[in-house]
Copies of this chain bind each other. A is one copy, B any other.
Amino acid sequence: MKITMAAEYAVRCVLYLAQQGSDVLVNRQEIASQARIPDSFLTKIAQDLARAGIITIKQGAKGGYALHRPPRQVNMLEVVEAIIGEISLNECVTKPAACPASPNCAANLVWQEARRRVRDTLRAADFESLAQAGACVSPFPPPPSPPETRP
């Protein structure tokens, strides 16, 4: 029930790029070290992200990666699914053939609902917000701040 490391790395990679702003080319080693991603692994991840139209790869000397779109238009769901494929929590939902009873199974609907909610949550998180939030803030309503104690 875990996202893979590759997907986590992908999110960190795109988040790092988003922090630099749109269209800024960053070389792979910098991304790898700053986002703590094994450099050689990042090549694989970047290829998936590029195929999904999330980043642009420039080869050759002075090459590197950049966001392909404004960070506002990229969300966590896209990034994660670019790496691991469409999220689904169980077999029943993915391959109905695996469970002949699935259309008659109430549990199946619960899995579908859970899946929908995870995907909605990730979809709501765009990288402009994430990058702006930066330290410790979230795209969700933050907890009310404690009343000021000093005038």
* Chain-B contact segment, one of A49-57, A62-70, A103-111: A103-111
Please tell me if the beta carbons of A103 and B1 are within 8 angstroms of each other in the complex.
no
**Which of A7, A110, A140 has the most chain B CB atoms closer than 10 A to its own CB?**
A110
Chain B residues in 8 Å Cβ range of A121? 110, 113-114, 117
Answer yes or no: A87 CB below 8 A from chain B CBs. yes
Please tell me if the beta carbons of A133 and B106 are within 8 angstroms of each other in the complex.
yes
Size category, A interface: 35 or more
Contact with B along A7-35 (1 / 0, CB 8 A): 11001100100000000000000000000
Please tell me if the beta carbons of B138 and A89 are within 8 angstroms of each other in the complex.
no
Q: CA of A56 to CA of B113 in the docked complex: distance in angstroms?
A: 30
Look across to chain B and name the residue whose beta carbon is closest to the beta carbon of A135: B104
A17 to chain B, nearest CB (A): 13
Chain B residues in 8 Å Cβ range of A122? 110, 114
Look across to chain B and name the residue whose beta carbon is closest to the beta carbon of A118: B114
Chain A residues with a Cβ under 8 A of chain B? 1-5, 7-8, 11-12, 15, 36, 76, 84, 87-92, 99, 103-104, 106-107, 109-111, 113-114, 117-118, 121-122, 125, 129-131, 133-140
